[in-house]
Structure 1
Amino acid sequence: MTSWCTPPHSSRSTPPNTIPRSSSPPTSPAPSTSTDAAIEAGVQKVIALSTDKASSPINLYGATKLVADKLFISANHYAAGHPTRFAVVRYGNGDG
């Protein structure tokens, strides 16, 4: 059976919908998170923007924003031996 995206006389060595992998490993591993990337790049200050939805969450949307804020701030402990510092700035209508 021929796939609709493969020409009939193609000599494709990988099946459709797969990404061919390189045979050689990368020279240096890529950072796994933006926290790692900032530390490795020697960034001094990293600021995340948050919203007022995270101040007193009433649904999953606000709760996930609050968790993201807490994880971002906890990156300061992760980067303790490096000059990189992490902060969150919250904007919005405010409480009250």
Structure 2
Amino acid sequence: MQNLITSLYNDEAGFIVSAELVLIATIAVLAMIVGLSEVALNINNELEDVGSAFSCVQQSYCVDGFWGHKGHIQGSGFDDHFDFCAGECDIH
């Protein structure tokens, strides 16, 4: 048993390959972290643009009254006011 432990301790055949794999894996993980953080930032920016687009939708309407020979109906209307904090880049 002592000979097996000594031979494994002295064996350095796979050391270089293991060190290279650790280095490559570290670089790959760092690249993934940077890439995913950029993806998250850009998704957040696009969703903010979508929210700003929804806040810019004109929701007001106006229906004119109808007049006929024997009757009439009044028109109606609604005016959409500017929302508080409905500007561009206001979501933090």
TM-score (norm 1): 0.27
Structure ID, larger Rg: 2
Q: Relative contact order (C-alpha < 8 Å, sep 6+): which is higher?
A: 1
TM-score (norm 2): 0.28
